[in-house]
Amino acid sequence: MSAPNVVNILCDLVARPSVNPMGRAVAHEAPFFEGRVSDYLESFFRSLDVPFERRAISPGRDNLIARFEPPEARQTLLWDAHQDTVPTEGMVIEPFQPTLDGGRVYGRGSCDVKGGMAAMLSAFARLVTERPKGAARVLLACTVDEEYTHTGSSALAAQGLDVDLAIVAEPTMLEVVTAHKGAVRWKVLTQGVACHSSRPRDGVNAIYRMAHVLRAIQGYADRLQDGTPDPVLGPPTLSVGRIEGGQSVNVVPDSCSIDLDRRVIPGEDVDGVRLALREAILSELGDSVPFTFSEPWVRMPSLGPDRASHWVEPVRDAIGTALGERPPISAVPYGTDAGPLSASGIPSLVIGPGDIAQAHTKDEWIAVDQLEKAVEVYYALACHLGRDR
């Protein structure tokens, strides 16, 4: 039996919508949630006759972990790829009708990260079929909810897997990513007193209060970027991504909230960065503008370059064997499943096909040659990293 074609697998995945609702209340129907992809993966692993587990993370959202178990394996690799995609609003192509054109596969998730998943599935099937001597044991994890709260990878990390190295699929152009920022996201809220807009002094305008808070946050965000940067990742950042408040134009608003995105660098922690922002706001405003913080709904750890440092050169050597040249080492500003995995003690690197510039775009695509190279890369990693180190 030959290994399944990576382009065919990718088209199968793209054709099965798995949109992350990003916190919105939606039904478990197309195009939302990962169930259709999870069902496909279960069938895929059953066809290979390999052991696998399907574990519920939340209603209708399941991680799957399949196992390739060669004889006398000395090392264990974890391959991770997430099942979900971002929403499709604003796309100018049919998001779930995969199209092969000009050496590219178009469709939502083709680049982020169903292309990487397809390459891992194809390489995994090849390992099962060929059973190369000396190959590593491979656990292939297909996780949920990466695009919003990382519940899938956090649950995977909490399983306490006995793994020597994790390889996380994200569009890195097959470069070896050793570090990335983490993220903390939470709300800041101001309260007011509602009244008729014709008599605004009878109430307290929560949006006006938030305007003062926003000015303080903007000043702090500017200072943050001018502070001491991480030598690899640069400075931490803070951004306000969303604001909501008021009932209607003729009512003075009694509430207002903003959503914050704080990118963290190695050495920072969730509680510390929130406390620092609170103190900065209080330092500027005192008690003149009451505000509150919600609990974070995202706590994504950063990935530091140290934990997996002893794996970097063997990984580059293995990729060089597959592609004819050793890939560069890089760092990225966005977060991945490698954050929770590394924080749990698993050495983790991020390696995958495609260009991050194409992720989340209105005409998302991935190059076929990147897919094909990725299959060779993942297969080579299993073969060449299977020996004792």
Class of the domain covering 182-300: alpha beta
Q: What are phi and psi of 379, to 5 degrees?
A: -60, -45
Q: Which residues of 37-54 are buried (b: 16+ CB within 10 A; e: fewer)?
A: bbebbbebbeebebebee
pLDDT number for residue 72: 84
pLDDT number for residue 381: 98
By 3-state DSSP, what share of the chain in percent is helix, strand and coil, each rounded to 5?
35, 25, 40
- Kindly list the averaged pLDDT for each block of 10 residues, start to end, along the chain of length 389: 83 98 90 98 98 96 97 93 97 98 98 98 97 96 96 96 97 98 97 98 98 98 93 95 96 98 93 96 96 95 93 97 97 95 97 97 98 98 82
pLDDT number for residue 90: 96
Domain boundaries 6-181+302-384, corresponding CATH code: 3.40.630.10
For 36, 61, 84, 297, 383, the CA distances from 33, given in Å and listed in that order, are 8, 7, 7, 18, 34
pLDDT number for residue 192: 97
DSSP 287: T
Six token digits for residue 193? 């007193």
pLDDT number for residue 1: 45
Please report, for the chain, the start and end positions of each structural domain, with discontinuous segments joined by +.
6-181+302-384, 182-300
- Whole-model pTM: value is 0.93
Strand partners, 256: 190, 245
pLDDT number for residue 270: 85
Strand partners, 264: 182
pLDDT number for residue 353: 98
- Distance from first CA to last CA of the chain, Å, rounded? 32
